[in-house]
Structure 1
Amino acid sequence: MLLNKEAQLTENSYYEASVTRPTTSAALGGKISADVCIVGAGFAGLSAALELRAKGYSVTVLEAKTVGWGASGRNGGQAIVGYASDDAIESQFGADEARRAWNITVEAMQLIRSRIAEHAIDCDFVPGYMSVAVNEKKGRQLAEWSNDLQKRYGYQMQPIAPADIRNWIASERFHSGLFDPLSGHLHPLKYCLGLAAAARAAGVQIYENSAVVDIVRGSKPLVKTAQGEVSCDFVVLAGNVYLGAYGKTVAPELDKRIMPVGTYIVATDSMGKERADALIRQRSAVCDTNFVLDYFRTTADHRMLFGGRVSYSSATPVNLVASMRKRMLAVFPQLSDLNVPYSWGGFVDITMNRGPDFGRVSDNIYYLQGFSGHGLALTGMAGKLVAESIAGQASRFDLLAKIKHHPFPGGKLMRTPALVLGMLYYQIKDLL
Structure 2
Amino acid sequence: MSRRDIAVTGVGLLTSAGTDAVTSWRGVCSGESPAAVDPDLGDVPVPLSCRVPDFDAAALLGRAVWRTDRFVHLALAAAYQAVTDAGLDTTTWDGARVGVVVGVGTESKETSVTALRKYTEHQYATLSPLTVPRSTVNAAAAEICIALGARGPSMAVTTACASGATALGTARDLLLADRCDIVLAGGAEAPCHPLTSLSFSQMGALSTRVHDPQGASRPFERDRDGFVLAEGAGVLVLERASDARARRARPHAYFCGYGSSTDAHHYAAAHPAGAGFERAFTAALADAGLHETDIGHVNAHGTATPMNDQIEAATLHRLFNGHPPPVTSTKGVTGHTLGAAGAIEAVLATLTLRHQTIPPTANLDVLDPAIDLDVVAKEPRPHRMQAVISNSFGFGGHNAVLVLRQA
Query: TM (normalized to structure 2)?
Result: 0.27
- The structure in which a higher percent of residues are strand is 1
Q: Look at both structures and tell me which one has the larger radius of gyration over its CA atoms.
A: 1
Query: TM (normalized to structure 1)?
Result: 0.26
